[in-house]
Amino acid sequence: MTVWHWVRHGPTHQKSFCGWRDVPADLSDLARIARLDAALPPGALVVASDLIRASATADTLSATRRRLPDDPALREFNFGAWEGLGFAEVSTRDPDLSRAFWDGVGDAAPPDGESWNMLSARVSARVAALGRAHPQDHIIAVAHFGVILTQVQIAANLTALDTLAHDIANLSITELHHESGRWHPVRINHLP
């Protein structure tokens, strides 16, 4: 069985769409990071998105664990033309498309960006490859809100819209087990 411990990166304090923009995480809450570190298995593998907010968060968890190379396949949504814009700006700029992106959740994509289904396919392919390479390991994957939710959707067998009802807080743990081709969600958005 492969046990996935999905960790959302530290907070960025961004108030706009932040997908592939490379903004740092605020990792100043050392007590919270220590609690997170203690709640994760020692000896696990650690992999992260290659965006600095995830990579730097993963670095704080690597002292007793083997760090795998950062992985661009674990990046957040590519929000394309919406990057750096606020929700109100996007709603004004692309009212029908932004509504379809959040309410229809599936194939709608921001201009020059990617849809939920595209993100899910990208992440799921990488998760499957890592699972094949490490079939009996614990893997701590430090990633992003959308990335983690795509895997929750698969493990819990939910619709994309129902999946978006879940909160994935910064520095939370979402634990998913994979065994014999089947997923089992153990805990979602656990805050140590």
Contact 59, 37 (CB under 8 A): no
The Cα–Cα gap between 46 and 66 comes to 6
Domain boundaries, the chain: 2-190
1.10.10.10, 3.40.50.1240, 1.10.3300.10, 2.60.40.10: which CATH number matches 2-190?
A: 3.40.50.1240
What is the Cα–Cα distance from 65 to 44, expressed in whole angstroms? Answer: 5
Closest of 51, 63, 57 to residue 27, by C-alpha: 57
154 phi and psi angles, rounded to 5 deg: -65, -45
pLDDT tens series, the chain, 192 aa = 999 999 999 999 999 999 999 999 999 999 999 999 999 999 999 999 999 999 999 999 988 899 999 999 999 999 999 999 999 999 999 999 999 998 888 999 999 999 999 999 999 999 999 999 999 999 999 999 999 999 999 999 999 999 999 999 999 999 999 999 999 999 999 999
Q: Number of helices (H) and strands (E), helices first, in the chain?
A: 7, 6
Q: Which residue has the tokens 């990488």?
A: 126
Give, in order, the Cα–Cα distances in Å from 186 to each of 50, 153, 166, 169, 183.
26, 13, 14, 17, 10
Residue 104: its pLDDT value, please?
Answer: 84
